Amino acid sequence: MDDAALFRDAIGFVRPLPEQPPPPERPRPRPVPRMAQRDEADAASEFRRALTADALEAGDALSYRRDNVPPRMLQRLRRGEFAAQDEIDLHWADMRQAEAMLREFLAHARAQGHGCVRIIHGKGLHGDSSAPVLKNLVDRVLRHRADVLAFHSAPANQGGTGAVLVLLAAKR
């Protein structure tokens, strides 16, 4: 007798298991929207390029005045003829912190009735990027605020191109 027959005699009758349906297939991976991802990346890089296209350099002076502000006021601001009633130093803050600090500072200064404030942003000589990040942030934020009448980089004895003097609208 062969081994298989001996084994069957020793085990006896074996009832076969009922047929089981096959296990479900692994779900297919979700499709990857490669074109949408590429479009997003292109849009983000275009946005970054647009932000840096007109970016200020380290030695550039900030300068802006609203149309209803006489040019003479900007000249006086440039020469430092207005006394800064308060100041904030944004050195060592990252962009998000600096923007929050700047907005809070301007709101507080206006609430206090200050007409002129100084913002120290630094010249941007020691940053990782080629353009001074905080200087460009300050320029962008100040241009979009309705309570800012004019601003200009401070005279050399008040910080030069590393600081900006800001004229604020009177509190209503």
CATH number of the domain that residue 80 is part of: 3.30.1370.110
| Cα 107 to chain centroid, rounded | 20
13-61 pLDDT per residue, tens: 888 889 999 888 898 889 888 998 898 888 887 776 665 556 676 677 8
Question: For the residues 128-147, what does the mean pLDDT come to?
Answer: 83
Query: In this predicted structure, what is the pLDDT of residue 134?
Result: 86
Query: Which residue did the predictor score with more confidence, 92 or 65?
Result: 65
Question: Is residue 59 included in any domain, yes or no?
Answer: yes
Question: Is residue 10 included in any domain, yes or no?
Answer: no
Total domain count, the chain: 1
Residues 6+ apart with CB under 8 A from 106: 117, 145, 147, 148, 166, 168
What residue numbers bound the domain in which 120 lies? 51-168
Question: Is residue 27 included in any domain, yes or no?
Answer: no
Min mean pLDDT across 14-18, 127-131, 151-155, 157-161 is at 127-131
Question: Is residue 160 included in any domain, yes or no?
Answer: yes
